[in-house]
Amino acid sequence: MPALRARQGGLSAGPDALAEALEAVFALRRRSDRVLAYCAVGYYVDTSDPAAGARWAWPALGLILLAAFGALVVLWWTGRPPAEDDPAVAFARDMMAHHRQAVEMAILIRDRSQDAELRQMLLDVILTQQAQIGQMQGWLTVWGLPLNGARPPMSDHSSHGADMPPNMGMASDADVESLRTLSLAEAEIKFLRLMILHHQGGVYMSQAILEKTDRPEVVLLAESIILSQEKEISYMQGLLQDRGQTP
């Protein structure tokens, strides 16, 4: 590539120097055009040589089309509806049942409690988990699958991992009913203990599905559940300590 000649005391002045400078600019322009061609197709195509351009055009176009086809395949694969036996389907149905019990318990205590902090946390649980139930119902509808499967919800622990808390943290019917009948102070303490276990089950379920699916909608929800419920577990442990209890 032509370059400006250095002279003693700097670049030369006069018509010759100007001509050299212009030639250098044009040379840079020609080189930049070739570099741009390289960036566009992944090969260095000398656009000043028509024969070279023709030689590389078809292979480059073929690579571009192949990459586009690959991207479409990936989009189709991750966006297609899951089958009935897909772990994402079991996760949605089980987590809906899991969330429904959390909402039921939260409503029971919120209707009784006068503790402003606890009532605010309960409202967050109710609104968040009810919204997530609607989200998962939407998935199943879009996937063309029924909201309920052949097996009862929460009955197949193997789909969620072997290290789950007992019954995935679900409370028994008797435990839920006791939240109505115990004294308020006792009911608040029992609720906090039950909901901590319940949240731990929800976190385990969410961690397990992250190892079984790469569906973006499921991954996003599972990560959100882990983040929010781990924070709520810590908060509820603090509420237990405020009541003189060991978490």
Let me know if residue 103 belongs to a domain: yes
Q: How many domains does the chain have?
A: 2
pTM above 0.95, yes or no: no
Indicate whether 112 and 223 sit together in one domain.
Answer: yes
Banded model confidence at residue 155, pLDDT cuts 50, 70, 90: confident
Write down the pLDDT at residue 71.
Answer: 46
Same domain, 14 and 48: yes
Give the DSSP letter string of 171-234. Answer: PPHHHHHHHHHS-HHHHHHHHHHHHHHHHHHHHHHHHHHHTT---HHHHHHHHHHHHHHHHHHH
In which domain, by residue range, is 26 found? 6-77
pLDDT confidence tier of residue 165, bands split at 50, 70 and 90: low
* Same domain for 91 and 205: yes
Percent of the chain whose pLDDT exceeds 70: 64
Does residue 106 fall inside a structural domain? yes
* Domain identity same for 66 and 157: no
Residues 211 and 117 in one domain: yes
Are 47 and 118 within one domain? Answer: no
DSSP 166: G
Condensed to tens digits (0 to 9), the pLDDT of residues 98-112 reads 999 999 999 999 999
